[in-house]
C-alpha cells in the first residue's frame, strides 16, 4: 500500500493592531471557517475586548510541489491596548508580551491588523511596528491585513495608502534586520462574510512553510 507521507508544521502567528480592529474576531472566524459559509455574524456577537493573550489553534493544509503539508497555525492574540488603563482585569500589549516572553520563542508571521474603516488604526501601525520588532527574526513574514472589507461605504484607507504603507513597513524591517529574508504582503478581509479567508489561509500556510524552511 502506498501511503503518502504528510509533513507537519506548526507556525506562530501574532495579529497586532489597535483595539477593536478585529484581531480576536479574525482568529475566531478562522478557527470556524468553512468555504461554503457566508456569514459569521453569530461568532462576532460574543467577541469582547481582549484582556490577556488569547490562543487559537487552526489546522490547515498546503500542497507544495505535489507534496501535502499539514500546517497548524497557532494564533496568539494580544490585547490592542497600548498602555495600562488602570483596569486590574485588563492588561496592555506590553504587559502581556512581558508575561509571555518565554512562551513566544519565535514568530513566523505578524499580521499588522487595521480596520479599513479607520485611517487612524492604519496610521497607528507605526506604533505596533516599533512594539513588535524585538520578536521578529530574519524569517518572519508580515501581512498588512485590513479588516471590515464588507463596510464598503465607510472605507477610509485607500489602496495607494496600503501600498505606500507596505513599502514603509518593508523599509523599517530591513532597517532593523539587515539580513531579513521574509516577505511583506497585504490582504483585505471581512470577518463577517469570510471574504478572502481562503487567500489568508494560503498566505499564512505558505509564509509559515517558507519561514520554517529559512530557519528550521
Partner 1 sequence: MSFESALVIAGAIILSVGLYYSFMIVSILRKQNMAIAWIVLTAMIVFFLLAFVLYALQTLGFITLTIPIESITAFVFFFGSIFVLILTVVNSRLFIDLFGIRLSDKEAILKFAKFIDIHPFFLQSRMSPEYTITCDACGKNVKYSIPDIVRSHPNLERGVKIEEAMGTVNYTFFLRHRCEGAIREIPVTHDEKFEYRSKRASRIL
Q: Tell me which residues touch partner 1 (CB under 8 A).
A: 118-119, 122-126, 156, 158, 161, 164-165, 167-169, 171
Ordered strands of the 109-115 beta sheet? 54-64, 67-77, 7-16, 109-115, 141-147, 184-188
Instruction: Look at residue 168 and give its three-state secondary structure.
Output: helix
Whole-number Å distance between alpha carbons of 14 and 35: 23
Smaller CB separation from partner 1, 129 or 211:
129
Specify the residue, 125 or 200, whose C-beta has the smaller distance to partner 1. 125
Report the residue number, 106 or 119, with the smaller CB distance to partner 1.
Answer: 119
Q: Which helix or strand (DSSP H or E) is residue 142 part of?
A: strand 141-147
> CB of residue 17 vs partner 1: minimum separation in angstroms?
12
Residue 124 or 195 having the CB closest to partner 1? 124
| Nearer to partner 1 among residue 91 and residue 149 (C-beta) | 149
Q: Which of 139, 129, 144, 113 is nearest to 26 (CA)?
A: 113
Q: Are 13 and 179 in contact (CB under 8 A)?
A: no
Minimum distance of partner 1 from residue 161's CB (angstroms): 5
Task: Give the nearest distance from C-beta 156 to partner 1 in angstroms.
Answer: 4
| Residue 201 CB, nearest approach to partner 1 (Å) | 26
Q: Does residue 18 contact residue 114 with C-beta atoms inside 8 Å? A: yes
Distance of closest approach, residue 7 Cβ to partner 1, in angstroms: 36
Amino acid at each position: 500500500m502506498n501511503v503518502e507521507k504528510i509533513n507537519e508544521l506548526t507556525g506562530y502567528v501574532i495579529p497586532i493592531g489597535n483595539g477593536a480592529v478585529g484581531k480576536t474576531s479574525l482568529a475566531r472566524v478562522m478557527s470556524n471557517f468553512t468555504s461554503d459559509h457566508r456569514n459569521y455574524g453569530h461568532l462576532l456577537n460574543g467577541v469582547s475586548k481582549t484582556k490577556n493573550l488569547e490562543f487559537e489553534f487552526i489546522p490547515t493544509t498546503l500542497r507544495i510541489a505535489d507534496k501535502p503539508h499539514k500546517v497548524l497555525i497557532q494564533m496568539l492574540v494580544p490585547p490592542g491596548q497600548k498602555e495600562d488603563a488602570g483596569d486590574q482585569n485588563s492588561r496592555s500589549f506590553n504587559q502581556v508580551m512581558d508575561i509571555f516572553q518565554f512562551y513566544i520563542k519565535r514568530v513566523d508571521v505578524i499580521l499588522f491588523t487595521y480596520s479599513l474603516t479607520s485611517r487612524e488604526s492604519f496610521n497607528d501601525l507605526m506604533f505596533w511596528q516599533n512594539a513588535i520588532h524585538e520578536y521578529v527574526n530574519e524569517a518572519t513574514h508580515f501581512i498588512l491585513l485590513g479588516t471590515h472589507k464588507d463596510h464598503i461605504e465607510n472605507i477610509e484607507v485607500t489602496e495607494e495608502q496600503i501600498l505606500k504603507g507596505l513599502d514603509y513597513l518593508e523599509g523599517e524591517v530591513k532597517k532593523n534586520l539587515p539580513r531579513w529574508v521574509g516577505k511583506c504582503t497585504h490582504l483585505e478581509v471581512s470577518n463577517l462574510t469570510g471574504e478572502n479567508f481562503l487567500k489568508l489561509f494560503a498566505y499564512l500556510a505558505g509564509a509559515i512553510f517558507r519561514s520554517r524552511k529559512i530557519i528550521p
